[in-house]
């Protein structure tokens, strides 16, 4: 239901309450297929409206504070910076959210499945677009008159006779296709949900009854996200949350959580896919080695070498000058034909016989070594099978990192222990991905805290520590002091790695690292802090 009209309808209403009377701060893009509209709300807070294009599982969400990089950022639509927002409205007939601005400007968010885009409109004409294409301006010229979604559905819900008439007049026998044509705003997932509720009772009367219930649910949303499905997080506003769902009071908060969990799922899937590929590659190599070890064939070969040596010794008095082979009678099997034994011309017959005996001895040694090697390779295969099975159950980036830590000795045998390293050398700190861009580093000891704060941290990183108790130093990188959501999540982890981890609420102080300095005549790990802020949080492992 991510791009469903009803989700966007409630999103627009919440954005209107938040942004009416505020203004656009800046518009930019700092990664492909993602545009960020940074705004100041009517209460003076910073909020970012982020639209993702060309992605099947991501669309639109908000984030508190500012989080713009200084590098690799493209500034967009500079003419609307500091323009006042007069409101947020949604097209009554389609999935287009409009942000009217002063001086006849407007931002249009076109949130279609395959053609998600952001347009700049000036005096009623499209003058700029995030995703450039020839169809941008044609969007208005080729507009089709569509029914008003809420008004049309309301008429069908309140009038069963009208619904039954439309149902019978719609020219298709397929019930799903029929409902998709006659119910504006109902996409395929909503039609499937309606039919699921009807079950085997698909008469027009029963469909109308279930439609009425579903319509009122869509008007009174119950936002939830189930982050624990095999296909990735599921977002919905319907009143039938799954058992493992996380409930929210607003669509904005729910979409933000969904984005975080979806990013974690996609990142985990990428990491697990690469890990699985490497492990299967190693297993294929191991299986190839096992298949190549054939002791029966080697024993037969050793017996042949030994037989050839004896047969050559039995014919020592045959002429042997410049001979490349010798024909002899096989007295081990008199019924068999004569044997042709290859020789090395530079050696005499006695030396050739000795060479065959040596080959027989080495081949038997190879068999003995192969038996021991086979046992070791079989153990490796069992270990690889175990790692492949365990890696299939990983669901978050932190679980992937914990998997690497727990199985580092086994992965080291196969040369895979360095797959997750992104820093120069392996960092000695705990690492948590707070968001797609923000990372929290947590110290492990007093000496480690000292190294984290005064050797690793940069001046504008955010330093965190539980107040009034012992604990780990924490460094949040990739966020600024305005990123309240990221700071809160980092503070929850900082509280967990402190002596107050079992308390319900823990005060955590934070400041930019440039305001942290060493304390004179104090042991390692103790610091002096200036310009700190304090936040109350519940400890969370991360």
Evaluate if residue 143 carries a pLDDT over 50: no
pLDDT at 244: 86
Residue 227 is predicted with a pLDDT of 86
What are the Cα distances from residue 246, in Å, to 56, 102, 172, 228?
22, 39, 39, 10
Residues 441 and 327 in one domain: no
Predicted local distance difference test score (pLDDT) of residue 319: 63
431: enclosing H helix or E strand: strand 430-433
Residue 121 lies in a domain: yes
Q: What does pLDDT average to over the chain?
A: 87
pLDDT value at 330 more than 90: no
User: What number is the average pLDDT over the span 300-318?
Assistant: 88
Do 189 and 297 have their domain in common? no
What the block records as the tokens of 333 is 């099997």
470 and 369 in one domain? no
Closest C-alpha to 3, from 265, 214, 268, 258:
258
Enter the pTM of the model. Answer: 0.65
The pLDDT of residue 320? 52
Whole-number pLDDT of residue 500 = 93
Exposure string of 8-32, with b = 16+ CB inside 10 Å and e = fewer, is bbbbbbbbbebbbebbbbbbbbbee
> Roughly what angle, to the nearest 10 degrees, separates helices 397-406 and 251-292?
30
Q: How many domains does the chain have?
A: 4
pLDDT bracket for residue 321 (50, 70, 90): low
| pLDDT (tens digit per residue) in 214-257 | 999 999 999 999 988 878 899 999 988 888 899 999 999 999 99
Whether 351 and 407 map to the same domain: the answer is yes
Is residue 69 within 8 A of residue 30, CB to CB? The reply is yes
| One domain for residues 169 and 123 | no
Tell me: pLDDT of 452 over 50. yes
Residue 325 and residue 289 share a domain = yes
**What local confidence, expressed as pLDDT, does residue 202 receive?**
85
Query: What span, in angstroms and rounded, lies between the C-alpha atoms of 218 and 194?
Result: 12
Strand order of the β-sheet with 46-52 is 60-64, 46-52, 34-40, 23-31, 74-75
Distance CA 261, CA 244 (A): 14
253 found inside a domain: no
Please say whether the beta carbons of 48 and 39 come within 8 A: yes
Cα torsion 387, 391, 393, 398 to 10°: value is 130
- pLDDT grade, residue 132 (50/70/90)? confident
pLDDT of residue 145: 62
Range of the domain at 367: 275-420
Q: Is the pLDDT of residue 142 over 50?
A: no
- Three-state DSSP at 486 gives helix
**Cα–Cα distance for residue pair 280/282, rounded to 1 Å:** 5
What the block records as the tokens of 194 is 């309606």
Q: What is the mean pLDDT of residues 358-373?
A: 87
Residue 468 sits in the same domain as residue 411: no
Give the pLDDT confidence of 259-274 residue by residue, as tens digits: 998 988 888 888 888 8
Q: Of 100, 121, 141, which closes a domain?
A: 141
pLDDT confidence tier of residue 138, bands split at 50, 70 and 90: very low
Place of tokens 């309301």: 154
Identify the pLDDT of residue 419: 65
For residue 235, being part of any structural domain is answered with no
Distances (CA, A) of 235 to 57, 223, 510: 10, 8, 33
Q: Would residue 519 count as lying in a domain? A: yes
In a domain, 35, yes or no: yes
349, 311: one domain: yes
pLDDT score of 404: 82
Rounded to an integer, the average pLDDT of 63-79 is 81
Does the pLDDT value for residue 401 go beyond 90? Answer: no
Q: Which of 395, 412, 401, 536 is nearest to 466 (CA)?
A: 536
Domain finish residue from 78, 112, 141: 141
The CB density around residue 400, as the number of other CB atoms within 10 Å, is: 21
Both tokens assigned to 389:
């099975």
Is the pLDDT score of 168 beyond 50? yes
Give Cβ neighbours of residue 81 (< 8 Å, ≥ 6 apart): 24, 25, 26, 27
pLDDT value at residue 136: 47
384-397 CB burial, b ≥16 within 10 A, e <16: beebeeebeebbbb
Q: Which of 96, 119, 141 is the last residue of a domain?
A: 141
Which range, 91-105, 161-175, 319-333, is most confident?
Answer: 91-105
Q: What are phi and psi of 202, to 5 degrees?
A: -105, 35
Q: Are residues 415 and 279 in the same domain?
A: yes
Q: Are residues 137 and 155 in the same domain?
A: no
- The pLDDT value given to residue 113: 77
Residue 284 and residue 397 in one domain: yes
Distance between CA 433 and CA 442 in Å, rounded? 11
Give the domain CATH number at 31: 2.30.310.10
Asked if 85 and 167 sit in the same domain, the reply is: no
Cα-flanking dihedrals φ and ψ of residue 415, to 5°? 70, 30
- Residue 226 within any structural domain of the chain: no
Query: Is there a domain that residue 238 lies in?
Result: no
Q: What single DSSP character describes residue 525?
A: T
pLDDT in tens, 12-48: 999 999 999 999 999 999 888 899 999 999 998 899 9
Q: Give residue 424's pLDDT.
A: 42
Residue 473 makes CB contacts below 8 A (sequence gap 6+) with 442, 443, 449, 452, 453, 463, 464, 465, 525, 527
**pLDDT band at 172, cuts 50/70/90?**
confident
Highest average pLDDT, of 131-140, 342-351, 391-400, 520-529, comes from: 342-351
Q: What is the pLDDT of residue 70?
A: 64
The owner of tokens 């190879």 is: 366
Local structure of 185: helix, strand or coil: coil
For residues 453-472, one letter each, b for 16 or more C-beta atoms within 10 angstroms of the residue's C-beta and e for the rest, the string is: beebbeeebbbbbbbeeebb
pLDDT band at 139 (very low <50, low <70, confident <90, very high): very low
135 vs 506: which has the higher pLDDT: 506
Q: How confident is the model at residue 537 (pLDDT cuts 50, 70, 90)?
A: very high
Average of pLDDT values for 499-509?
Answer: 93
In a domain, 230, yes or no: no
């Amino acid at each position: 239901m991510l791009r469903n009209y009803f989700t966007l309808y409630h999103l627009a209403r919440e954005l209107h309450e938040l942004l009416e009377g505020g203004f656009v701060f800046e518009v930019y893009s700092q990664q492909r297929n993602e545009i960020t509209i940074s705004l100041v709300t009517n209460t003076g807070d910073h909020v970012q409206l982020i639209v993702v294009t060309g992605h099947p599982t991501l669309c639109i969400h908000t984030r508190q504070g500012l989080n713009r990089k200084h590098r690799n950022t493209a500034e967009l639509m500079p003419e609307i910076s500091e323009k006042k927002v007069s409101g947020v409205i949604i097209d009554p007939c389609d999935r287009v959210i409009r942000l009217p601005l002063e001086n006849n400007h407007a931002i249009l968010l076109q949130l279609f499945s395959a053609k998600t885009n952001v347009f700049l409109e000036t005096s009623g004409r499209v003058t700029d677009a995030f995703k450039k294409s020839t169809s941008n301006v044609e969007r208005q010229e080729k507009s089709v008159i569509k029914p008003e979604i809420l008004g049309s559905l309301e008429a069908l819900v309140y009038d069963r006779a009208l619904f039954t008439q439309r149902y019978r007049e719609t020219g298709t026998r397929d019930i799903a296709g029929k409902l998709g044509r006659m119910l504006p705003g109902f996409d395929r997932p909503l039609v499937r949900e309606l039919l699921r509720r009807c079950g085997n009772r698909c008469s027009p009367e029963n469909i109308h009854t279930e439609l009425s219930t579903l319509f009122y649910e869509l008007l009174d949303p119950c936002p939830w996200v189930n982050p624990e499905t095999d296909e990735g997080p599921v977002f919905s506003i319907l009143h039938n949350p799954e058992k493992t769902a996380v409930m929210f009071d607003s669509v904005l908060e729910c979409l933000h959580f969904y984005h975080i969990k979806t990013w974690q799922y996609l990142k985990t899937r990428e990491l697990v896919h690469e890990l699985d590929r490497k492990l299967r590659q190693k297993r294929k190599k191991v299986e190839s080695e096992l298949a190549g070890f054939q002791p029966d064939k080697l024993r037969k070969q050793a017996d042949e070498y030994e037989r050839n040596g004896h047969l050559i010794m039995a014919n020592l008095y045959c002429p042997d000058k410049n001979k490349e082979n010798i024909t002899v009678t096989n007295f081990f099997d008199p019924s068999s034909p004569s044997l042709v034994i290859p020789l090395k011309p530079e050696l005499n017959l006695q030396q050739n016989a000795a060479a065959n005996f040596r080959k027989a001895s080495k081949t038997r040694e190879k068999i003995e070594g192969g038996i021991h090697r086979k046992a070791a390779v079989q153990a490796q295969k069992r270990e690889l099978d175990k790692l492949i099975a365990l890696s299939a159950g990983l669901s978050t980036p932190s679980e992937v990192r914990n998997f690497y830590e727990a199985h580092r000795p086994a992965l080291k045998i196969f040369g895979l222990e360095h797959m997750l390293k992104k820093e120069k050398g392996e960092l000695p700190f705990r690492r948590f991905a707070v968001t797609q861009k923000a990372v929290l580093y947590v110290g492990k000891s007093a000496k480690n805290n000292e190294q984290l704060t005064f050797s690793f941290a940069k001046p504008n990183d955010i330093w965190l520590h539980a107040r009034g108790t012992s604990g780990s130093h924490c460094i949040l990188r990739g966020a600024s002091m305005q990123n309240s959501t990221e700071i809160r999540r980092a503070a929850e982890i900082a509280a967990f790695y402190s002596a107050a981890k079992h308390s319900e609420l823990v005060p955590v102080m934070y400041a930019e690292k440039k305001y942290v300095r060493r304390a004179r005549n104090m042991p390692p790990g103790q610091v002096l802090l200036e310009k700190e802020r304090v936040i109350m949080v519940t400890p969370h492992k991360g």
